[in-house]
Structure 1
C-alpha cells in the first residue's frame, strides 16, 4: 500500500504553491526535497545491495561543483604550464555534466572499492569524501576554496521554438525539484523491478548463493554505485543552481548522516522509504524552528528518530505496510453475519 505514498506526496507538493505563498516554507521544501533525491540515490546502495556508503555526499558535492563550473566557466593551469580555459555553458548542460561526472566517479570508486566489503568499504567511502573535500578546499584556482563559488547562474529550461525560461521563483524551483525527484524515483523503481534488481537483492541476502547462480557481484555493485552516484550528482546540481553559492562545506559528513537517517527511518530497501523519511526529517526542523531554540530542536529531532527506530525498527514504510495488510487480513477472516431465521421454518 505504501506504493501510493510517493504519488500522493508528489500531488500534495505540486498543489501546495497554489495556496501557500510563504517563501520560507517553500525554501525549506525545496532544500528538503533535494536531499530526499540524495536519499533515494543512497537507498539504491544501502537498501537494495546492503552496502553502506558514508561518503555519499561526495557525489552530491561533485555534481554541485561540476554543474556550477560548467555554467560559470574557469581558467585553470595544469602541470607543465598547460592552461585550460572554459567559457560558461548553458546551466542545463551543467546539470547533464553533473550527472555524467558524478556517475563516472561512482564507477571508478565502485571498481576500486567493491573488492572489499563491510567496514572496509565504509572506510573507503569516507576517505574518498574527505579527499574530495580537501581538493575543493585547496584547489583555489578552480573552486575558489573557502571563498566559495558565487553568482552561479539559475537553472534555465527551454524547448526549440518555444523560447527559454529562467527559474527565478521558488515555485518554479519547487516544480523542477519535483520533476527530478519523480524521474529519480522512476529510474530506481524500474531498476528494482528488473532482473538487475533481483541480482542486487540476491547479493544483499546471500552473496555467495547469488554468485553461485551466475551473478557477477563486482559488476552488479559497480553499476548500482554508478547509477546511485549519478542521481546524487543531479541533486547536487539542483542545490548549486538554486542556492547559487557553494563552498567545501557541501561535503560535510552531517549531510551524509541526514541522507542515511532519511533512508533508515523511512524504510531501507523500499521505494517509499526515502520519500517518507525525507518528508519527516526534511519538514521537522521547519516545523520546530518557530517554537524552539536550536538546542531543543536537535533534542526533539533525535528523540523522534529514536522513537521511530524503537517502535518501527524496519522503518515507517514497512510498518505501514504491515499495519494495512494486518487490517485487510482481519477483515477477510471476519465471519459473515448470521442470517435471520424466519418464523415457521422454510
Structure 2
C-alpha cells in the first residue's frame, strides 16, 4: 500500500510541469523542493535519533559554496606568499564535491558534538553554523563576502557521444530537484528500515538500553550526521546552481527554522512528514502573498502552524495515519459481528 501511494505521489509530482504554466509558481515549487531535501536530511537526525540540530543550514550553505566555487574557480593568497589557484570544473563535479565536503564537515561536527547531549549539542551546532557564516562573510578574496558569488553556471549532465545537456529552464531544474529528492527519500527509507536504522531508533527511545545491548552511541550518531550533512550539501548545491547567486545570507538562522517547521509539522520520524510539511509551509507564503500584507502573512503562517500542532500534535502524517488506522480497525471489528448475526438469522 505504501509503495503504491509513493508511486502515485511521484507520478503526480512529475506531471506538474506538464500542466502548470505559471513560471512564478514553478519557481516556488523548485525552491520548496530544495528545502524539502534539506528537511529530509534534518529529519534523519531529529526524527530518528532525537538530536535537534539548529545549525543544520551550515551544511546546506557549505554545499552551496563548495559547488559554486568548484564551477567558478578561484585564486586566493595563502600565508607565505603562496597562492591557491583552481580552474573551473564542470558543475556536476561541484555537486559531487559539495556532497563529499558537507559529509566530512558532518563527520567533524558529529565527532565533537555527539560526546555531549541536550542543550550542549544544540549550542555546538548553532556555533558551527555561525562560524561558517562569518568565514563566508569575511573571506572576501574567496567568497566575495557580502558582494556574493554571481554567474554560477547551471548544472550540465554529460551525455556520452552527445556532449552535455545543460539544465537551463525551470522545467529542467524541477525534474532535477524531483530526482534528487526521490533518491534522498529512498536512501533514507532504506537506511531507516535497516539494522542501522533500528539502532538509531533504539538510541532515541532508550539510550541506556541501547548501550547495554552493544550499540556504539557515538559511532551510530556520527554516521547519521555524515549522511544527513551530505544530503543537505546536495540540496545546497542544487540551490546554488539554480539561483546562480550565493551570499552569506544562505546561512541565515531562519532557513534552519524553516526546515525544523517542515519536519515538526509534517511529523518527525516519518518518511513522508518533511515532504508534506515542506509543501504546506513552502507554498503557504506564495498563496498568502497576493491576498495579505507582509505582517498579516506572518500572523497567518504562525496561526496555521499552531493549529496543526494543536489539532495534530504528532504532526500531520503520523496523526492522520493513526486516526485512519483506528477507523479501519473499528470497521474491521464490526464486520465479523455483522456476519455472525446474518448467519444466525439464516434457517438451518
Length-normalised TM-score, structure 2: 0.96
Give 2:331's aligned residue.
331
**CA contact 2:159–2:165 (8 Å) conserved in 1:** no
Give 2:83's aligned residue.
83
**CA contact 1:17–1:171 (8 Å) conserved in 2:** yes
**CA contact 1:6–1:275 (8 Å) conserved in 2:** no
Which whole-Å CA distance do the structure 2 matches of 1:321 and 1:235 have between them?
28
Which whole-Å CA distance do the structure 2 matches of 1:29 and 1:203 have between them?
35
**CA contact 1:49–1:221 (8 Å) conserved in 2:** yes
**CA contact 2:276–2:317 (8 Å) conserved in 1:** yes
Give runs of aligned pairs for residues 34-113 of structure 1, distance below 5 A: 34-113=34-113
Which whole-Å CA distance do the structure 2 matches of 1:7 and 1:253 have between them?
34
Deviates more, 1:255-264 or 1:278-287: 278-287
Give 1:321's aligned residue.
321
Give 2:122's aligned residue.
122
Residue aligned with 1:80, SS: coil
Give 1:162's aligned residue.
162
How far residue 208 of structure 1 moved from its aligned partner, in angstroms, is 1.2
How far residue 9 of structure 1 moved from its aligned partner, in angstroms, is 3.3
Residue aligned with 1:165, SS: strand
Residue aligned with 1:88, SS: coil
Give 2:238's aligned residue.
238
Give 1:195's aligned residue.
195
Deviates more, 1:279-288 or 1:231-240: 279-288
Q: Unaligned 5+ residue runs, structure 1?
A: none
Residue aligned with 2:74, SS: strand
Give 1:140's aligned residue.
140
How far residue 162 of structure 1 moved from its aligned partner, in angstroms, is 3.4
Give 1:303's aligned residue.
303
Residue aligned with 1:339, SS: helix
Q: Cα deviation per residue 1:300-328 (whole Å; 9 max; x = unaligned)?
A: 11000000111111100111111211121
Q: What is the root-mean-square deviation of aligned Cα atoms in Å?
A: 1.4
Q: Cα deviation per residue 1:268-327 (whole Å; 9 max; x = unaligned)?
A: 011111111111111111111111111111111100000011111110011111121112
Residue aligned with 1:290, SS: coil
Q: Unaligned 5+ residue runs, structure 2?
A: none
- Count of aligned positions: 344
Q: Cα deviation per residue 1:14-61 (whole Å; 9 max; x = unaligned)?
A: 101111110000000000000000000000000000000000000000
**CA contact 2:41–2:228 (8 Å) conserved in 1:** yes
**CA contact 1:3–1:271 (8 Å) conserved in 2:** no
